[in-house]
Structure 1
């Protein structure tokens, strides 16, 4: 292998890096699952000089990785190697750089250890072996699910007079934040985040409030759905129902309102990701409304 240098991400190459990730998605999943705005969102939230890496081969961006701190003691990482540069040792180089940087967090942490996670294509034997050889332990799988709408989708109404309305930031913002914190504590991916930071994230370019809906019950916010609009498809970012109002058809109604709103605007596909062993049974709901699994990702963790 020729001499290889890791360097921080250069946003002047953002389009080329995006094309790299898309090539990886098509190679592993059979379809793209990334856009330029995703990369820009990632890069806006991490210190590029220390937490991002790219490798150039023959003048092309051949590999890309990043590390983010979700909360104190909890780190997550992702890495991509262009299909034509597979088996050249680039993946191990990226992973070593990620772990070296992650260990620096342990020196500054009051925690006894940091947890570092990595997500890989579930069917990639090479990626699995790479992680397991370095001490990562498989935790669970996630499915990307999709709903294709060639005809008008169903639109149901929850029980007990519960209403579904478009999100109104003037009246719903604080209630939405509280409902998010309450409902997502029942998931494996929840971590504490500052309210202003969370609201800033949800104000990104693709967060389209024409596809945000709120369930109201007795003047209280019972559930919510937050979606991102990518033009050719919607992505459901968050769906939550507060415990007192679960099993009353609210989650299904919220989803169907998104399907209906998308279809009316000429968007025929809605996507989301779900834990295959969801603590709240979300995966069963998505199957019940007609969503199909498109591909799977495997989630691994390692204690540093």
Structure 2
């Protein structure tokens, strides 16, 4: 039985939800990690009635003190996030939100799965050092999967000129000419990563059509007519977020990834943006975190993913 009034989120809640997540970020990490447009992008990509949950304070303010959402990340894979205001921890709000997530996931998992092993999994991402959230998940049967580091650089002065890579030409993305090349590079660069899922080019490009996907901050690396690597970014005005940076396996260990990152740092600085951020799997098969460190980026904090098995198809 629920002790809280839980309702779906609405687009009019976006600012309150952003304020809640900022309060959680500052409490957990010491710095905010979201802006209003991030929240709006998240909500616009969800079925609000079934996949979002809001809990309001029972005091007269009726402020949002809890929020969670769940979405299908890929065939057979669900991912969820939950937030509880720091001043309202210990009231069972996180447990309540997780129960809603799991009930919804059970409904989704009754549909046929396209995953290779025929199973559905539900993942939850939490601050890596949050012992209460870790205990809640492990008690519900989740197991630790991986760590993610959020990395950042503050450009206090103009970044150095991007390094030259022999026989490689790095240039700004060309909207009508480079889309197929970009998708080819994405598929070959990320196919060996843990979170890769097959998508059509149209679907993948549609996901990169949000208002903040600034094509001026996208770059390609070619050797002759062959695509070698790529980088895509989001522009939030006060910071740039590197969305994808990939180098095809046959072109790795030549400095292409570092050169691509240096290009986006230079372009961001030229636009008056001094903060560039990204997330990286701490167990990346390509040791990407070392590349980012060579570019001057430092880890701000870590997030942990916990997952559990939901259903086996018969």
Return the alpha-carbon distance in structure 1 between the equivalents of residues 268 and 100 of structure 2. 41
In structure 2, distance between residues paired with 1:88 and 1:233 = 35
Task: Note the 1:1-304 alignment, pairs <5 A.
Answer: 3-57=3-57, 58=59, 59-110=62-113, 112-304=118-310
Contact 2:180/2:201, CA 8 A, preserved across alignment: no
Helix, strand or coil: the match of 2:110?
A: helix
Q: Distance in 1 between matches of 2:33 and 2:206?
A: 23
Q: TM-score, normalised by structure 2?
A: 0.93
**Per-residue deviation at 1:87?**
0.6
Give 3-state SS (helix, strand or coil) of 1:170's partner: coil
Q: Are the counterparts in 2 of residues 105 and 114 from structure 1 also a CA contact under 8 Å?
A: no
Q: Contact between 2:165 and 2:259, CA under 8 Å: does it hold in 1?
A: no
Per-residue displacement from partner, 1:68-108 (whole Å, max 9, x unpaired)? 00122110000001111111100000001101110112211
| Cα deviation digits, residues 166-193 of structure 1 (max 9, x gap) | 0001110111111111111121121122
Question: When you count helix as a share of all residues, which structure comes out higher?
Answer: 1
When the two chains are superposed, the root-mean-square deviation of aligned CA atoms in Å is 1.3
Deviations 1:145-175 (A, max 9, x none): 0111112212233432211100001110111
TM-score of the pair, normalised by structure 1: 0.96
Q: Is the 8 A contact 1:213 1:254 kept in 2?
A: yes
1:192-229, Cα deviation, whole Å (9 max, x unpaired): 22322221221101111111111111111111000111
Structure-1 separation of matches of 2:21 and 2:210: 21
What's the CA shift for 1:47? Answer: 1.1
Distance 2:149 2:255 in 1: 23
- Segments of structure 1 that go 5 or more residues without pairing to the other structure are none
CA distance in 1, matches of 2:126, 2:240: 23
Q: Distance in 2 between matches of 1:24 and 1:88?
A: 15
